[in-house]
Amino acid sequence: MFPFEHIISIDKKSNITLYNQIAFCIINAIQNGTLKAGTPLPGSRKLAKILNVHRKTVITAYEELNAQDWITIIPKKQACVSEHIPILQPQKWNSLKSSISYDNNFNLPLKITNKHIDETKTENIPDIIIDDGHPDVRLSPIDELLKTYRSYTSKRHTIKNAHLGTEQGTLKLREEMVQYLSETRGLNISADNILITHGAQMSIYLTSRLLLDSHTNIIVGKPGYPVANKAFEKTGSNLTEVTVDEHGIDTDAIEVLCKKKKITAVYVIPHHHYPTTVTLSVDRRIKLLELSKQYNFAIIEDDYDYDYHYTSSPYLPLASGNHEGNVIYIGSFSKILDPSLRIGFMVAPKNFIVQCTSLRKVIDVGGDGYMQNALASLIKGGELKRHLKKAKKTYQQRRDFLDNLLKEKLAPYISYTLPTGGMAIWIKLNANLSVEKLISNPKLKVLRIDKKQNAFRFGFASMDEKELEQTIDFLQSEFKK
Amino acid sequence: MFPFEHIISIDKKSNITLYNQIAFCIINAIQNGTLKAGTPLPGSRKLAKILNVHRKTVITAYEELNAQDWITIIPKKQACVSEHIPILQPQKWNSLKSSISYDNNFNLPLKITNKHIDETKTENIPDIIIDDGHPDVRLSPIDELLKTYRSYTSKRHTIKNAHLGTEQGTLKLREEMVQYLSETRGLNISADNILITHGAQMSIYLTSRLLLDSHTNIIVGKPGYPVANKAFEKTGSNLTEVTVDEHGIDTDAIEVLCKKKKITAVYVIPHHHYPTTVTLSVDRRIKLLELSKQYNFAIIEDDYDYDYHYTSSPYLPLASGNHEGNVIYIGSFSKILDPSLRIGFMVAPKNFIVQCTSLRKVIDVGGDGYMQNALASLIKGGELKRHLKKAKKTYQQRRDFLDNLLKEKLAPYISYTLPTGGMAIWIKLNANLSVEKLISNPKLKVLRIDKKQNAFRFGFASMDEKELEQTIDFLQSEFKK
């Protein structure tokens, strides 16, 4: 008999169930060739004795291995390693030995290429990650959401419901959002005006593909949101940057441009401009809408940060103002719950939404209907509103806590303006320090830096007070070097 | 005192908690104007007596309403409807009354338009939905998946992990898939060769944007998969259809075309061609790979149905054969678990994956990292393999059950070839019947019909035996009409 006590090591204190530990060890031994096809396994009674576990544990392990095809159990006889172990179980259709399939490069010409790609290195998780304004998923009602999700995957009716209309978003979620957007943003719309996407970026991508090509001009803020700008650039459109000062994008400069050339669209982030966090002022909002009518351009209103405004209520969206339909309003639940939860939305006239939906279907068919319906329940039950109220309070506290820490520990090194809302502070380093040098430390990852401005975004919402302190202490020690 | 007993009706047998019922009734009354701002609410003791519930239930309801800003609680005094009820709580920035925001059409010219849009009507859920080959989510290990998902949203470390590298797919999932694709498909690759997408369609879209434009030719099967064809068409590429017979796509016809004009890519569905369900034969597989080398075209291998082959083991993918890197392999977990779970993948040379990832980031930033990592755990723990084994057995039984039903009840009306795998049967109606007439019944929705062939796809995998019987009985009564 094979010395099983040497290949199976179990740890009774581990979180992994005993039977799984046993099964894993046997799979490992099969995979690395220690246990060959056909090798008999000891009877459950015997192995239980060897390993000093209950016999039922061994039986469960064997059943698991059998279910996964690693072993064969002959009833009332013995268990053996499968004759056809799962590795390379499929039928070969070519008698030639497979070449090493993907050693070669793809060698046909590509129609789109991006020469400056920052390849993401994800090999090591840095100790400290400063994101650019993520919510704290630990505060989000994810348990509630997933509980509802699970319940929807078990009943014929709710399954049907989740599979219908996912290219535009389930009707249940869109109807819930009509009410929600009316209450929170004064938007007077119907479910036909809404498209559910995988987040704000997909709304931006769809809009840009519909509106822009190489014969068009679009105005964006400077500094701006690079991922949105890339979507605009990919259409071949000509981007013109307009300065964003402490009141938001400079609408006078937009007017000057409109007089010079045909502008197709203006991209604005009215609540807490990315990356500098300023809010678009009232008079500029009014001016922008007027210009849009006068010069007939579309406003792409990316209002991802609407829900987190601390010093006052947020401003109603441009989309809820006096316009003639050419405002495309973009928002996201990823910023409310978690960036990994890919649910965003866009609001526009029905004819625009119809075309967007048609394009979206070609891109990826549709979204996760269960998640959308679970989110609809969360909105209907009031949990989302309650969460927003709680999160807003917490994030404001964290902003103020960070403000104090910055003053106390980093004052000699940096400058910043405390934002009136949002989840990040835009921090400029003093001239004698370099943001490039800062991020060269492998222990630190900063999601959004600006080399020209020698600045970075400090997303504070995702960190609790202890984590904020650790991060600031780390930065202090870096700056002192 | 306001007659609260008339606006609050509770049902002690309902699944909704009592406090939520009370809260909903009060919200409703505020929303429809019955309860005005500032209206005092009865003390908890008093309301509890009126409604004959425990006082704590009323307190919880009031706390909920307070948390959502519907009411204000003055400690040790009274609860009142908020002075600033949440409706239109945000700051107005424009003194003008909002116009009805989205009554107007969008009136700028669009760069892409699709004139033939089937608008999805989701108002009524039909009694009977025949999908085009969905898995049965009730069999899928969704509970396991969501349990792991939840656990990943509570720890700093697993949260970090889920947020890194999502544009290409988390490293954890890609590494797990290297092993998985080796074991199940003989693919010899590294994590750099994999991109995680929102399903097979997104892989098709990305590939088509990278490979095709108006100067290129692509070959597709006839009849074919319309959603993929649309993605190819949107690039401006010229589509040439090649007949798919009982052995798959006609490779001799492909050779003839290659001699006539430069072919950039061939799109194939080797396991159970959509919609006709045939499997690409061994000799055609070899021929196709040879042609790809000789005429230097890319093979887009959409192998979404690989895991469900009943009569034998499936054939190894073209991608695992002898090629020089120009095979793009596309697969999907949406077909294994549920179409709403948007996780697919593509395998290609690293340089191709890098460009795809860059484009994908612009489209929608990335996927759901928690879901990806939970899926990785499911693969690692063997649950996925076990599920596949069980599902394959069940679907084969359902196929055979349906086969018997069709013979017994629909033989006079239809013809079909039983597929050797997959989740659907391609059913042709006899000439005296019309598939168009069939789907005109609002009680029935059929996801994929072909008017020319007078045929439809009957997805059997998502229905249990009872549901299959109901559906066949329904069809029989329709045909008899």
Could you tell me if A365 and A166 are in contact, meaning their C-beta atoms sit under 8 angstroms apart? yes
Tokens, residue B286: 């070899």
Residue B94: the pLDDT is 53
Tokens, residue B315: 């054939």
Between CA A149 and CA A172 the distance in angstroms is 14
Between CA B93 and CA A318 the distance in angstroms is 9
Could you tell me if A194 and A178 are in contact, meaning their C-beta atoms sit under 8 angstroms apart? yes
* CATH level 2 (architecture), domain A128-137+387-480: Alpha-Beta Complex (3.90)
Could you tell me if A102 and B325 are in contact, meaning their C-beta atoms sit under 8 angstroms apart? yes
- What tens digit of pLDDT does each residue of B338-387 get? 999 999 999 999 999 999 999 999 999 999 999 999 999 999 988 999 99
Does B442 contact A at CB distance below 8 Å?
A: no
Residue A121 has pLDDT above 60, yes or no: no
Could you tell me if B81 and B41 are in contact, meaning their C-beta atoms sit under 8 angstroms apart? yes
Between CA B455 and CA B276 the distance in angstroms is 10
Nearest to B161 by CA among A343, A391, A478, A445: A445
Burial of B399 (0-12, 13-18, 19+ CB in 10 A): buried
Could you tell me if A72 and A80 are in contact, meaning their C-beta atoms sit under 8 angstroms apart? yes
- Parallel, antiparallel or unpaired: strands A414-416 and A424-429: antiparallel
Q: Where in chain B is the domain with CATH 3.40.640.10?
A: 140-384
Between CA B56 and CA B60 the distance in angstroms is 6
Helix (H), strand (E) at residue A52: none
Between CA A121 and CA B35 the distance in angstroms is 57
Q: Where in chain A is the domain with CATH 1.10.10.10?
A: 4-81
Least confident of A188-192, A376-380, A399-403: A188-192
Residue A152: the pLDDT is 94
Residues B355, A390: C-beta atoms closer than 8 Å: no
Q: Find the mean pLDDT for residues A173-192.
A: 90
CB-based contacts of A480, cutoff 8 Å, min separation 6: none
Residue A118: the pLDDT is 60
Nearest residue of chain A to residue B320 (CA atoms): A101
Does A114 contact B at CB distance below 8 Å?
A: yes
Q: Where in chain A is the domain with CATH 3.90.1150.10?
A: 128-137+387-480
CA distance B432 to chain A (A): 31
Residues B112, A359: C-beta atoms closer than 8 Å: yes
Is the Cα dihedral B52, B53, B55, B61 positive or negative? negative
Query: What is the CATH code of the structural domain delimited by B140-384?
Result: 3.40.640.10
Residue B297: the pLDDT is 96
Question: In the predicted model, what is the mean pLDDT of chain A?
Answer: 89
Least confident of A83-97, A110-124, B187-201, B411-425: A83-97
Does A118 contact B at CB distance below 8 Å?
A: no
Does A369 contact B at CB distance below 8 Å?
A: yes
Task: List CB contacts (< 8 A) between B134 and chain A.
Answer: 163
CA distance A431 to chain B (A): 31
Does B202 contact A at CB distance below 8 Å?
A: yes
Residue A7 has pLDDT above 90, yes or no: no
Question: What distance lies between CA A264 and its chain's CA centroid?
Answer: 29
Between B44-51 and B55-67, two packed helices, what is the crossing angle to 10 degrees?
120
Between B171-185 and B369-380, two packed helices, what is the crossing angle to 10 degrees?
40
DSSP conformation class of A42: P
Residue A144: the pLDDT is 92
Residues A27, B230: C-beta atoms closer than 8 Å: no
CB-based contacts of B300, cutoff 8 Å, min separation 6: B204, B207, B265, B266, B267, B268, B328, B330
Q: Which of residues 149-178 of B touch A (CB under 8 A)?
A: 149-150, 153-154, 156-157, 159-168, 170-171
| Intervals of chain B under pLDDT 70 | 1-2, 31-32, 84-101, 115-123
> How many cross-chain Cβ pairs, A to B, lie less than 8 Å apart?
407
Of residues B101, B201, B355, nearest to A364 (C-beta): B201
Residue A120 has pLDDT above 60, yes or no: no
Does A128 contact B at CB distance below 8 Å?
A: no
Could you tell me if B335 and B424 are in contact, meaning their C-beta atoms sit under 8 angstroms apart? no
Residues A138, B117: C-beta atoms closer than 8 Å: no
Of residues A201, A362, A367, nearest to B231 (C-beta): A362
Q: Find the mean pLDDT for residues A130-136.
A: 94
CB-based contacts of A418, cutoff 8 Å, min separation 6: A399, A403, A425
Q: Position of tokens 């064809």?
A: B229
Q: Position of tokens 């500094």?
A: A223
Task: List CB contacts (< 8 A) between B339 and chain A.
Answer: 163, 365
Task: List beta partners, residue B327.
Answer: B299
Tokens, residue B238: 């010229």
Chain B interface disruption, residue of A247, A307, A362, most B CBs within 10 A: A362
Give me the percent of chain A exceeding a pLDDT of 90. Answer: 64
- What tens digit of pLDDT does each residue of A329-365 get? 999 999 999 999 999 999 999 999 999 999 999 999 9
In one-letter notation, the amino acid at residue B428 is K
From residue B430, alpha-carbon distances to B403, B410, B413, B414, B453 in Å are: 17, 11, 5, 5, 10
Between CA A139 and CA A125 the distance in angstroms is 23
- With helix as H, strand as E and coil as C, how does chain B read? CCCHHHHCCCCCCCCCCHHHHHHHHHHHHHHCCCCCCCCECCCHHHHHHHHCCCHHHHHHHHHHHHHCCCEEECCCCCEEECCCCCCCCCECCCCCCCCCCCCCCCCCCCCCCCCCCCCCCCCCCCCEEECCCCCCHHHCCHHHHHHHHHHHCCCHHHHHHHHCCCCCCCHHHHHHHHHHHHHHHCCCCCHHHEEEECCHHHHHHHHHHHHCCCCCEEEEEECCCHHHHHHHHHCCCEEEEEEEECCEECHHHHHHHHHHCCCCEEEECCCCCCCCCCCCCHHHHHHHHHHHHHHCCEEEEECCCCCCECCCCCECCHHHCCCCCCEEEEEECCCCCCCCCCCEEEECCHHHHHHHHHHHHHHHCCCCHHHHHHHHHHHHCCHHHHHHHHHHHHHHHHHHHHHHHHHHHHCCCEEECCCCECCEEEEEECCCCCHHHHHCCCCEEECCEECCCCEEEEECCCCCHHHHHHHHHHHHHHHHC
Residue A3: cis peptide before it, omega within 30 degrees of 0: no
- For chain B, the C-alpha Rg in angstroms (whole number) is 28
Task: List CB contacts (< 8 A) between A183 and chain B.
Answer: 86-89
Query: What is the CATH code of the structural domain delimited by A141-381?
Result: 3.40.640.10
Give me the percent of chain A exceeding a pLDDT of 70. Answer: 93
Higher pLDDT, A33 or A22: A22
Between CA B287 and CA B252 the distance in angstroms is 9
> Which range scores top for mean pLDDT: A30-44, A46-60, A249-263, B15-29?
A249-263
Residue A34 has pLDDT above 70, yes or no: yes
Chain A interface disruption, residue of B227, B324, B364, most A CBs within 10 A: B364
Of residues A285, A338, A368, nearest to B93 (C-beta): A285
Residue A85: the pLDDT is 59
Give the number of other CB atoms < 10 A from CB of residue B430: 12
Residue A104: the pLDDT is 75
Q: Position of tokens 């015997």?
A: A46
Between CA B377 and CA B379 the distance in angstroms is 5
CA distance B304 to chain A (A): 14
Q: Where in chain A is the domain with CATH 3.40.640.10?
A: 141-381
Topology classification of domain A4-81 = Arc Repressor Mutant, subunit A (1.10.10)
CB-based contacts of A224, cutoff 8 Å, min separation 6: A241, A244, A267, A274
| 3-state SS, residue A88 | coil
Of residues B149, B166, B341, nearest to A146 (C-beta): B149
CA torsion, ordered B112, A342, B121, B305, to nearest 10 deg: 90
Residues B321, A96: C-beta atoms closer than 8 Å: yes
Higher pLDDT, A224 or A165: A224
Between CA A169 and CA A146 the distance in angstroms is 18
Nearest residue of chain A to residue B285 (CA atoms): A93
Task: Provide the greatest CA pair distance for chain B.
Answer: 89
Residues A315, B363: C-beta atoms closer than 8 Å: no
Residue A111: the pLDDT is 78
Where b means 16+ CB within 10 Å and e means fewer, A260-273 reads: eeebbbbbbbbbbb
Question: What angle is formed at CA A42 by the lines to CA A36 and CA A44, rounded to 5 degrees?
Answer: 135
Question: What distance lies between CA B290 and its chain's CA centroid?
Answer: 34
Nearest to B406 by CA among B472, B478, B458, B474: B472
Of residues A162, A198, A324, nearest to B340 (C-beta): A162
